[in-house]
Amino acid sequence: MTKARSFDVGAIQLRCPNSWDDVLTKITTQKSMTAVTSTSSTQKALNTFWKNKLTSDEIITQSPNVLPKHIYKRLAGQQKSKDNISGCSVNTSYDAAVKECQAKVAAIVAECRRNNIKYTDNDFDLDDMDYCLKPLTVTVPGTLNGEEHTQTGPPKKTNNVKTVITRTGIVKLTAAEVRGPACAKRVGDIFENPKFFIEHEAHVQDIRQGSEGDCWFISSLACLTIDEAFPRLINKLCPEKARNEEIGVYGFVFYRDGEWVSEIIDDKLYLTNPDYDDCDDDRRSVWDRSHGRLDPEFSRTEYKKAFQTGSNALFFGSCADPNETWLPLIEKAFAKVHGDFDSINGGWPGEGVEDLTGGVTTKLISSDILDKDNFWTQGLLKVGNEFIFNAGTRNYTHPDLEELGRQGIEDDHAYSVLRAVEYQGNRLCLLKNPWGETEWNGPWSDGSKEWTREALDALNHKFGNEGIFWMPYEDFLSRYDEIWRTRLFHCDWLCWNVAQHWTTVNVPWSGDYNETFFHFTIFEPTTTVVVLSQLDNRYFGGFAGQYTYSLSFYLHSSGQKSHIVRGYSSGDRSATTEIFLEAGTYEVFLQITGYRDDTLPKVEDVVKQNWLSRRDKLIQIGLKHDMAYAKGTIDENFSKKNERMSLATSAILTPPITPPVTPSTPSSENAPEMDKHAWNASCIIGLKVYTYQTIATIGLGKATDTDEVETIENADEKGQAIRKILSTLDDTFSSNLHKMKIRTKKKSLKVKWKFHGRNWKEETGLCDEKKGGKRERKEKKRERKRERKEEKSREKRKRKRKL
The whole-angstrom separation of Cα 397 and Cα 661 is 62
Interval 240-299: pLDDT, tens: 899 999 999 999 999 999 999 999 999 999 999 898 888 775 666 666 666 665 666 777
* Residue 82 banded pLDDT, cuts 50, 70, 90: low
Give the E-state strand segments of 398-495 in sequence order: 414-423, 426-432, 468-472, 482-487
The whole-angstrom separation of Cα 217 and Cα 334 is 9
What average pLDDT score do residues 512-516 get?
83
Q: What are phi and psi of 425, to 5 degrees?
A: 80, 0
Interval 10-27: pLDDT, tens: 333 444 444 444 433 443
* Residue 394 banded pLDDT, cuts 50, 70, 90: confident
* Residue 794 banded pLDDT, cuts 50, 70, 90: confident
Whether pTM exceeds 0.85: no
Biggest CA pair distance of the chain: 157
DSSP state of 59: S
Interval 680-690: pLDDT, tens: 888 999 999 99
Angle at 206 between CA 203 and CA 207, to 5 degrees: 110
Query: Which of the following is catalytic: 18, 345, 433, 514?
Result: 433
The whole-angstrom separation of Cα 582 and Cα 734 is 51
Share of the chain above pLDDT 70, in %: 69
What average pLDDT score do residues 502-513 get?
87
Give the range with max mean pLDDT: 419-423, 712-716, 761-765.
419-423
> By mean pLDDT, which of 71-75, 117-121, 330-334 is the weakest?
71-75
CB under 8 Å to 453, separation ≥6 — which residues? Answer: none
Interval 654-666: pLDDT, tens: 333 333 333 333 4
SS3 492: helix
What average pLDDT score do residues 302-314 get?
90
Higher pLDDT: 13 or 356? It is 356
Q: Where are the domains of the chain?
A: 18-55, 91-273+308-347, 359-487, 495-661+677-702
Higher pLDDT: 733 or 699? It is 699
pLDDT at site 793:
85
8 Å CB contact between 469 and 445: yes
**224 pLDDT more than 70:** yes
Same fold, 359-487 and 495-661+677-702: no
Higher pLDDT: 125 or 53? It is 125
* Residue 551 banded pLDDT, cuts 50, 70, 90: very high
Interval 602-646: pLDDT, tens: 899 999 999 999 999 999 999 999 999 888 876 555 544 433 333
**Average pLDDT value over all residues in the chain:** 77
* Residue 162 banded pLDDT, cuts 50, 70, 90: very low
Query: Which of the following is catalytic: 215, 223, 279, 429?
Result: 215
**36 pLDDT more than 50:** no
- In which element (H, E) is residue 269 found? strand 268-271
What average pLDDT score do residues 22-33 get?
41
Query: Which of the following is catalytic: 203, 338, 413, 625?
Result: 413
- 470: which strand partners? 430
pLDDT at site 770:
42
What average pLDDT score do residues 416-420 get?
91
Give the range with max mean pLDDT: 57-66, 438-447, 782-791.
438-447
Of the candidate CATH numbers 3.40.50.2000, 3.40.50.2300, 3.90.70.10, 3.40.50.300, the domain formed by 359-487 belongs to 3.90.70.10
> By mean pLDDT, which of 32-36, 59-63, 471-475, 770-774 is the weakest?
32-36
DSSP string, 324-390: B-HHHHHHHHHHHHHTSGGGGSS--HHHHHHHHH--EEEEEEGGG-S-HHHHHHHTGGGBTTTEEEE
* Residue 41 banded pLDDT, cuts 50, 70, 90: confident
The whole-angstrom separation of Cα 700 and Cα 502 is 9
What architecture is domain 495-661+677-702? Sandwich (2.60)
> By mean pLDDT, which of 255-264, 324-333, 693-702, 749-758 is the weakest?
749-758
CB under 8 Å to 548, separation ≥6 — which residues? Answer: 572, 594, 595, 597
What average pLDDT score do residues 713-742 get?
53
Active site residue 433: yes
What average pLDDT score do residues 707-735 get?
48
Share of the chain above pLDDT 90, in %: 39
